[in-house]
Structure 1
């Protein structure tokens, strides 16, 4: 990774951008949103940032070794974003996509998903994984990759309860059902999670799905 030229597309606030930079890559961030770009500039002032999206990359032809999409590929139209990826990658370059899923074998996470589904009157599968889960919609349009270029990696983080609930409330299902419905669920969920995590620190567990393709 050290010395590689990397473009992080849909960089958001720069979470993946920072990690790529820390590994020694020469990273350029591409982000269309005003708010996200402003936050990225504040937190990573040393990283070059250009405004744009994956359907029309504001990058020169054959300019990067690696293109990354950290939970951002699904915002693109593969009919445009895949040819764009092929255009800006150097010969031998690669396209890396990843997506966080909630593991099916962590009981409190599975129960939380069920509670959300019951509250909002449907099945909550925003990130819910299952055995053999591949989330094909988030990698739509990318050429099939061999097994050695596909990984599922488990990771975890410990965050304050308020952070966990704020992240949960930002999911689309909460937003489309309105503030009152979301607030009612989150208030009850706070009480339930304090029974599991009495210190107020929540251990979130994720399975990240990763593929590396050559478009």
Structure 2
């Protein structure tokens, strides 16, 4: 129940999520194309847990034919505002509202952890055409950057959650997927950066589910203190965020 509450908490900040969340580097899609053995132009893609369409837009820029699957009502509304020409259907990865063998690629950008993999893996394989691929990825924080590592520890204390691993998925997930699909699994970690305003950086953090389920007065106090700390590191209020995209691509027989 807690996980479900966190999964749907994004609906309360759909516009904030769209405005502040980071995108993804081009190299990520280069790896997916290399795995498929073809450009994404014309490839039929189901982007599951699409949110406000951050990954969907990039897939379309590569020429992919994309349909989005999104469980959250407010997120789907924001998606339609941003990408009105892209179909978005309500549903989640545990029961995809898509036909058998209908897509070449099924993607999960920041959303795989909200599924029950005992159901979502078979569903992805059902929807994929022979030779298709399942691609899951996360933007993870580069904790070797000192200020980011220190901030991560403060966030973990505030949200009363254990600090998460610096990379996701871990090797056990790769091994498990390889066993399920019977084919190769490729994993890549791609480092990249973006520079945003201090307020955008704080809005990005505030759009995380761990914050959204907490008392908002306590959150405001946390962000007031975080703003003060970051102004010491970035006096011009231009924050350089460093990410490592952790990507896993698995083939369908």
Tell me the TM-score normalized by structure 2. 0.76
Number of the residue aligned with 2:236: 199
Q: Which among 10, 28, 33 is matched to residue 49 of structure 2?
A: 10
CA–CA distance in structure 2, aligned partners of residues 120 and 143 of structure 1: 31
CA–CA distance in structure 2, aligned partners of residues 122 and 89 of structure 1: 36
Change over 3 Å in CA distance of 1:30–1:119 after alignment to 2: closer
Q: How does 1:135-174 map to 2 (within 5 A)?
A: 135-136=169-170, 139=173, 143-144=177-178, 149-174=186-211
Q: How big is the shift at 1:104? A: 2.2
CA–CA distance in structure 1, aligned partners of residues 162 and 143 of structure 2: 14
Q: How big is the shift at 1:139? A: 4.9
Number of the residue aligned with 1:188: 225
CA–CA distance in structure 2, aligned partners of residues 21 and 94 of structure 1: 17
Number of the residue aligned with 1:178: 215
Change over 3 Å in CA distance of 1:108–1:28 after alignment to 2: same
Q: Which among 78, 84, 87 is matched to residue 48 of structure 1?
A: 87
Q: Where is the helix percentage greater, Structure 1 or Structure 2?
A: 2
CA–CA distance in structure 2, aligned partners of residues 122 and 100 of structure 1: 19
CA–CA distance in structure 2, aligned partners of residues 118 and 75 of structure 1: 23
Number of the residue aligned with 2:124: 85
Gapped regions of structure 1 (runs ≥ 5) = none
Q: How big is the shift at 1:140? A: 8.4
Over the aligned positions, Cα root-mean-square deviation in angstroms equals 2.4
CA–CA distance in structure 1, aligned partners of residues 89 and 175 of structure 2: 25
CA–CA distance in structure 2, aligned partners of residues 63 and 202 of structure 1: 42
CA–CA distance in structure 1, aligned partners of residues 159 and 195 of structure 2: 27
Q: How does 1:7-156 map to 2 (within 5 A)?
A: 7-119=46-158, 123-125=162-164, 129=166, 133-136=167-170, 139=173, 143-144=177-178, 149-156=186-193
**Count of residue correspondences:** 210
Q: How big is the shift at 1:192? A: 1.1
Q: How big is the shift at 1:114? A: 2.5
Report if aligned partners of 1:78, 1:141 keep a CA contact under 8 Å in 2: no
Report if aligned partners of 1:153, 1:207 keep a CA contact under 8 Å in 2: yes
Report if aligned partners of 1:96, 1:210 keep a CA contact under 8 Å in 2: yes
CA–CA distance in structure 2, aligned partners of residues 193 and 62 of structure 1: 49
CA–CA distance in structure 1, aligned partners of residues 82 and 169 of structure 2: 31
Q: How big is the shift at 1:123? A: 4.2
CA–CA distance in structure 2, aligned partners of residues 12 and 137 of structure 1: 26
CA–CA distance in structure 2, aligned partners of residues 6 and 81 of structure 1: 16
Change over 3 Å in CA distance of 1:43–1:212 after alignment to 2: same
CA–CA distance in structure 1, aligned partners of residues 122 and 52 of structure 2: 26
Report if aligned partners of 1:74, 1:137 keep a CA contact under 8 Å in 2: no
Q: How big is the shift at 1:159? A: 1.5
Q: Does 1 or 2 have the higher relative contact order (CA < 8 Å, sep 6+)?
A: 2
